[in-house]
Structure formats: structure tokens, C-alpha cells
């Protein structure tokens, strides 16, 4: 029987067809449509994610916020300081646990989101027109299934 060479994994598929690279390219293709909007309003992608999560959560702690916004805790601390300086968020001590801080949007934070929302919605509508609502929903379902399967592993 002939000796089989040791495989290093690179012969399996072209880099372009690997899941990590495809996900990165897709993220970049989507985000390059939103970046000019965020830049024009002086917020980073991470700051915008935090604001969006807080809009949905109303009030949450830093751990849950970091998880929901997909941001590492050390980065979140810096982002929260910036957003607090801009008066977009407020923090308070949790009455049940004085070590825990609760974070929420301020009226200024809500107003900021309302200001950007129509432009963001227009960008999203363009993505929908290019791809179709059903395809976007299917893609989101597939990504959710991927994350669920990997969390179980």
C-alpha cells in the first residue's frame, strides 16, 4: 500500500471557499455600506452595536451587553466611557447587587438612534432589494443554526 502524504488541511478547499473567510468577506461587504453612515455621525461600529442593544434591552448589565453586542469586556469599558461622555448612556448601581452596574440609554441616546434610523433603514432596504427578504431571512436562519450547533459542541 503506498504511503499517504501528511495533509495539512490546505488541500481541502480554496481559501475563498472556507467558512471563516466567507463570513469575513460577507461581513465586510455588508459593513462597507453602513460605515459611511456611522462615520458621518461620529460613532464606531462597536458603539452603534452597543446603542442598538441598549435600545432593545432598555437596561442591562455590562456582561449581558458585551455578549449581546459581541464585544469583549475590556473594549466595552472604553466604549461605555465614550458613550457616557456623549451623554448617550447612563449607569446606575443595581439595588440588589451594589457591585453590578446597570446601563441604559438616555433621552439623548434615544434621539441619536432616531436620527440615524431612517438612513440605516434605507441601507438595509437596498440590501433587501438586492438579495430579497426571503433570502436574507434564510441566511439569518442558517447563521443562527450554525451558532446553535457550535454552542452545543
Predicted confidence (pLDDT) per residue in 35-74, tens digit: 999 999 999 999 999 999 999 998 999 999 999 999 998 9
pLDDT on residue 79:
97
Instruction: Give the global pTM.
Output: 0.85
pLDDT on residue 24:
96
pLDDT band at 114 (very low <50, low <70, confident <90, very high): very high
Which of 43, 120, 49 has the alpha carbon at shortest distance from 85?
A: 43
Which contiguous run of DSSP H or E holds residue 141? helix 133-152
pLDDT over 90 for what percent of the chain? 80
Amino acid at each position: 500500500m503506498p504511503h499517504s502524504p501528511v495533509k495539512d488541511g490546505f488541500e481541502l478547499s480554496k481559501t475563498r471557499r472556507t467558512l471563516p473567510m466567507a463570513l469575513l468577506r460577507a461581513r465586510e461587504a455588508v459593513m462597507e455600506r453602513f460605515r459611511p453612515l456611522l462615520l458621518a455621525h461620529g460613532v464606531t461600529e462597536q458603539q452603534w452595536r452597543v446603542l442598538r442593544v441598549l435600545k432593545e434591552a432598555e437596561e442591562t448589565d455590562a456582561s449581558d451587553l458585551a455578549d449581546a453586542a459581541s464585544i469583549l469586556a475590556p473594549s466595552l469599558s472604553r466604549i461605555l466611557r465614550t458613550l457616557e461622555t456623549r451623554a448617550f448612556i447612563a449607569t446606575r448601581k443595581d439595588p440588589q447587587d451594589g457591585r453590578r452596574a446597570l446601563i441604559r440609554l438616555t433621552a439623548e441616546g434615544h434621539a441619536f438612534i432616531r436620527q440615524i434610523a431612517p438612513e440605516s433603514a434605507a441601507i438595509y432596504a437596498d440590501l433587501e432589494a438586492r438579495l430579497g427578504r426571503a433570502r436574507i431571512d434564510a441566511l439569518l436562519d442558517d447563521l443562527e443554526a450554525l451558532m446553535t450547533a457550535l454552542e452545543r459542541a
